[in-house]
A and B are shown apart, each in its own frame.
With several copies, the nearest count.
Chain A
Amino acid sequence: MNYAIRRRMWSAALIVAFFLGWEVLCLALNVSDLVVPRPSQVMATLVARFPVLWPHIIQTLWTTMIGFGLGVAVGVVIGALIGTSRVAYDTAYPLLIGFSSIPKVAVVPIFVLWFGAGPVPAVLTALAMCFFPIVVNIATGLATTEPEMEDVLKSLGAGKMDLLLNVGLPRTMPFFFASLKIAATYAFVGTVLAETVASNKGIGNVMMSASSNFDVPLVFAGLFILAFLGVALYVLFSVIEGRVVGWANRRTDLSPS
């Protein structure tokens, strides 16, 4: 217990140190706030403009959550398909890899052309950005499942679906959560990207307006908000993960009391 608290303190201290270092470096090297503002400036802007920013935050958060939710669903389904069927793997993987190598900024205009500006392209971009890491980790987890574990169920006459639900997916959980953490951050990136291209609302739009007016502290305030939202989502998943896949991380709790 005591150890856990000390650990937290340490890491909190290091994170604070990071921002202090940034502040000091900016002051020491006399970096213009038009290039990189100091964290204190960013925070000041953030506080001062918060009431104005609030609806944009809500907008981005909602859009991201919907896109992310859909992305997870799509990712799990495709990942399960690819991880269990060889033909699906050989077909879908190259297509997905190809799609993933494409900058999503190039795709947003197409979404806009189809669905108009607004939240729909943002949701779709968030989805497009975030489902791929989930696919890859689910597929890899399934493909590397120890055959011995599957044999346990096969000997009971289990079908493919039973195997997937009772062995494949649980075993893959740690890597599913790892990919969720990646995916959640990418979902934010996707939303913001789409908002940058086509929307009148959302953090992306704020950042775009701010940057076209060279209000760099406001741009960074947007970045801070995004970072914060990303971390918040990460913490949420970590808590869920702790409950669901505690079995995989037993090391820390293993040493006798």
Chain B
Amino acid sequence: MNPDLAQIAPERKRPAVQLSRASVAFGQGAERVQALQPTDLHLDEGEFLALVGPSGCGKSTILKLVGGLTRPSGGEIIVGGREVAARALRVGMAFQNPTLLPWLTIEQNVMLPLKIVRPFRQDYARKKRGEYRDRVHALLADVGLEKFAGHYPWQLSGGMLQRANLCRALIHEPSLLLLDEPFGALDQFTREELWGTMQDLWIKRRPTVILVTHDLKEAGFLGTRICVMSARPGRIIDDSPVTFPRPRTVEMTFQPDFVALNQRLRERIIDARGESARKVAS
């Protein structure tokens, strides 16, 4: 491994996200579904965590916990020193299924954070036709949607919606980014381009990121650290740093180091699927 990457990897060690035995269960009595087993997770400021694990293991649940959208059934979540993330940090969140508001155009949807989040909201009325609009259009152009700013969500394809969804998470330059499979519905090439965009952004602004993904290559390319979760009810069963130098390139993903990491994670996940895998096998 390249020794000089240490200076790029995060050095500041203020805790950004802290889960202490946080667990989530839905429903009561016989209906009760344990979605997340008591989980500890510590994220420093500027870390880029990639979260992988089988379907239904609780990855989205962890994001929602950190984002303050689900209250834990047990344990505690501290984000930026506070219990509710959005109160402490500027949070950007891309949901697994792009929930764009159907009554807003793509431009308006992406501009939403600027309308809500301080300090942008103060100037919203004044800048929404000028500076903010330009900013939104620039970002949309980055993901290839410049022509669709004025369209409504139902006029876009699945992958286009997902890209708009990503833009909405990024527009207000959040210091905590929660991304739930943001590249899922994209073809390999668009996906790789957006990896690059994402990496540039991270290097430049160093937000703390949690990225849920099923793509180990994506995890290795983007993350400073990869956590593997077990099958439902989920639990973190592996936590590995990723120390490849930045900026990483797609070519790097073919290097033996990278392939070895992937291979190791693969095996952990096979363990992780445990019981559930046996059931799924038809």
C-alpha spacing A239/B247, complex, angstroms: 55
On whether A256 and B95 interact (CB within 8 A), knowing A162-B116, A166-B112, the answer reads no
Contact assessment for B102 and A247 in the assembled complex, using a CB-CB cutoff below 8 Å = yes
Contact assessment for B101 and A255 in the assembled complex, using a CB-CB cutoff below 8 Å = no
C-alpha spacing A257/B27, complex, angstroms: 6
Contact assessment for A152 and B71 in the assembled complex, using a CB-CB cutoff below 8 Å = no
Contact assessment for B26 and A158 in the assembled complex, using a CB-CB cutoff below 8 Å = no
Interface residues on A, range: 20 to 34
Contact assessment for A248 and B93 in the assembled complex, using a CB-CB cutoff below 8 Å = no
The one of B35, B71, B91, B102 in contact with A155, judged by C-beta atoms closer than 8 angstroms, is: B91
The one of B26, B28, B97, B117 in contact with A156, judged by C-beta atoms closer than 8 angstroms, is: B117
Contact assessment for A257 and B25 in the assembled complex, using a CB-CB cutoff below 8 Å = yes
C-alpha spacing A166/B111, complex, angstroms: 12
A51 within 8 A of partner (CB) = no
* In the complex, residue of chain A having the shortest beta-carbon distance to the beta carbon of B89: A157
B69-108 residues with Cβ-Cβ distance < 8 A to A are: 69-73, 84-87, 91, 93, 95, 97, 99, 101-104
Q: Report A-chain residues with C-beta under 8 Å of the C-beta of B70.
A: 255-256
Q: Which of A23-31, A167-175, A199-207 contacts B (4 or more CB under 8 A)?
A: A167-175
C-alpha spacing A63/B271, complex, angstroms: 69
Contact assessment for A154 and B72 in the assembled complex, using a CB-CB cutoff below 8 Å = no
A residues near B (Cβ < 8 Å) are 146-149, 151-158, 162, 166-167, 170-171, 173, 245, 247-248, 250, 254-257
Can you list 20 contacts pairing A with B, beta carbon distance less than 8 Å?
A: A149-B99, A151-B69, A151-B95, A151-B99, A154-B68, A154-B86, A155-B68, A156-B113, A156-B117, A157-B116, A157-B117, A158-B86, A170-B101, A171-B101, A250-B152, A250-B154, A254-B154, A255-B70, A256-B35, A257-B28
B residues near A (Cβ < 8 Å) are 24-28, 32, 35, 64, 67-73, 84-87, 91, 93, 95, 97, 99, 101-104, 112-113, 115-117, 152, 154, 168, 172, 178
